[in-house]
Amino acid sequence: MDDRRERAIGVILSGMGSDGTLGLGAIKENAGLALVQEPASAKFDTMQRNAIEAGLADIIAPAQELPLHILCLRASYPARHTLHRQPRVDPAA
């Protein structure tokens, strides 16, 4: 996750507990994107509710809509936000 920073995307689906919230917190600290399944559409909604109550969710939608959100966001990324790392250039070289 550290190598993706603002390009990191976390998705919370049906689940229990708070470990997903911890992961989203790390993603949000690096300006990444957090998608959360709408609690009403989940079999277990504890993890989603924890993430939403923590204020970490950028997008809340039914699970079947989350991939489309990711694809639309990916298509709108500027060219500098490619999924492939660019080689670092040493300015001193």
Q: How does pLDDT run across 30-76, given as a tens digit for each residue?
A: 888 999 999 998 888 999 999 999 999 999 999 999 999 989 887 77
pLDDT at site 67: 93
Range of the domain at 43: 5-79
- Is 85 a member of any domain? no
User: Is residue 38 included in any domain, yes or no?
Assistant: yes
CATH number at 14 reads 3.40.50.180
Asked whether residue 89 is domain-assigned, the answer is no
Task: Look at residue 55 and tell me if it is in a domain.
Answer: yes
Give the integer Cα–Cα distance in Å for 47 and 12: 7
In a domain, 92, yes or no: no
pTM summary value: 0.74
